[in-house]
Chains A and B, each alone.
Chain A
């Protein structure tokens, strides 16, 4: 496979991931993560280096993400009433490290996130930083880091996945 094809595949992967989230296909989204993958929303946005000895808004392995997705489907997930949906408007993903020296590819994607709960709209903006790994002819997320522009501000509840 040439580098050019890989770059296209990496970009397409991120766009497809956004589509799964926008369509509320959370089980499909979960399947995009590697078994050791994680989803990280640092409390200090792009300035934060450490997920373990510093607070984060979210830092979840696939077990915690599975709990999150399982709960969304529970009719007694009260906060999901009267319906919560989201839209990620993403800029063209930029492939930062297409040659995968450490077996991982890095893709950076600025986004605007709108979450709708009932009639109340929440607006967030930031940058996705994906670390992706090729695995059995497909790509998997090793880490999806979500650097919010206003990460350290007080937030109202964020119900889905910016």
Chain B
């Protein structure tokens, strides 16, 4: 395959995408620098870092990072690399590093904001260029950190849009999730389920908005759930797990009517009219507590909208109900880490957390019978796109030339506009010279 130029028209047409976008290691390198480093990615939730010195580490598209609570209460994000020889300063996934960072290799020490504190054999550095060189500046920090309602985002690059300009109207769906707490606060709870999948990250992320696949992809899971449940004694309300599995047997019509919105920069909300999450029962007293906290109008607005999936492109997928979030981490051109996070709405009954945990277990666990069929097909796509003979992946469903104006738009739930919108954002970044 001859690699097309990353300039937009050669990789991303208005209605289709060149297969190189999924299989070219060269393009993967470009998108790491031009997309993931240039845009805002979710890295942590503030509830993971209650005390000064608390940290989490992660790999963000090949960049090892430390997210670290500062003594002044702010959150800093540093590259996890000692300024001296490159050792990872922290190797645990989370913990507390105390009042400073200390490299285990040669004991170089740093303040929690990354500034240099001390090195052994200080006298031997006198008269050297260390203070002027990169190594003398301490641990490097990412370009920008912003916290939106306790969701911590970074932009690796020094220059770029602000978080609010980048996410725009899509942030209303973070509010929709956070305001499910009567106190307006979420906490990460119950552990994070992690999956590695042998496919390009975009195949996974597109599928988050793919409403035409469940009928055929999830037929076996939906039918098995329906037939086993139908054999149970009649009249009993379905348990939470069955309530969460049965919608996978929904019709094309159901998904078409749920409607969607797209926003500038690749973001989207699927299921803005209703979704498979709309019908979940509420725990006793919960609605009243939301009305008391937020007022009747806002409470109805929150409970009346539970999108199927909201994408904060390119790293985050939100289900405001059931308080479940997926984090997409590209590992290689053909390998992706998908994390399923569950949240507790502070002040709300634990039944809501249990909904999140149950959903993530049933649908996003390595043993999920729903995910099994998705993963099988994603990995199949990853192999098959190496086939010569057709360089293009079709995203024609519902295309209209009007949509090329961009910005916020409304469409049917089954329109592939949600994927085209992702690729327009992708092409704008990957096609821009650094």
Q: Which of B195-232 contact A (CB under 8 A)?
A: 195-198, 216-217, 219-221, 223-225, 227-229, 232
A selection of 7 A-B contacts at a CB cut-off of 8 Å is: A43-B191, A55-B192, A61-B241, A63-B228, A154-B196, A157-B375, A158-B367
Whether A79 lies near B372 (C-beta < 8 A) is yes
A78 interfacial by beta-carbon distance below 8 Å: yes
Whether A78 lies near B361 (C-beta < 8 A) is no
Shortest C-beta distance, A156 to chain B (Å), equals: 6
Q: Which of B195, B221, B342, B373 contacts A156 (CB 8 A)?
A: B195
Whether B228 lies near A156 (C-beta < 8 A) is no
A11 interfacial by beta-carbon distance below 8 Å: no
Q: Which of A53, A81, A155 contacts B189 (CB 8 A)?
A: A53
Q: Which residues of B contact A29 (CB under 8 A)?
A: none
Say whether, besides A154-B195, A156-B198, A54 and B190 are in contact (CB < 8 Å).
yes
Count of A-B contacts judged by CB separation below 8 Å = 114
What secondary structure prevails in chain B residues at the interface with A? helix
Say whether, besides A57-B366, A58-B361, A78-B373, A63 and B239 are in contact (CB < 8 Å).
yes
Shortest C-beta distance, B379 to chain A (Å), equals: 9
Whether A155 lies near B196 (C-beta < 8 A) is yes
Q: Which residues of B contact A79 (CB under 8 A)?
A: 372-373, 375-376
Whether A152 lies near B376 (C-beta < 8 A) is no
Q: Which residues of B contact A70 (CB under 8 A)?
A: 224, 227-228
Q: Which of A55, A68, A76, A156 contacts B369 (CB 8 A)?
A: A68
Q: Which residues of B contact A90 (CB under 8 A)?
A: none
Whether A54 lies near B357 (C-beta < 8 A) is yes
Q: Which residues of A contact B189 (CB under 8 A)?
A: 53
> In the assembly, what is the distance between CA of A102 and CA of B312, in Å?
51
Whether B376 lies near A81 (C-beta < 8 A) is yes
B337 interfacial by beta-carbon distance below 8 Å: yes
> In the assembly, what is the distance between CA of A57 and CA of B220, in Å?
20
Contact with A along B342-374 (1 / 0, CB 8 A): 100000001001100100111001110101110
A108 interfacial by beta-carbon distance below 8 Å: no
A64 interfacial by beta-carbon distance below 8 Å: yes
Q: Which B residue sits closest to A71, measured CB to CB?
A: B224
B291 interfacial by beta-carbon distance below 8 Å: no
A77 interfacial by beta-carbon distance below 8 Å: yes
Whether B357 lies near A55 (C-beta < 8 A) is yes
Q: Which residues of B contact A43 (CB under 8 A)?
A: 191, 193
Q: Which of A30-53 contact B (CB under 8 A)?
A: 41, 43-44, 52-53
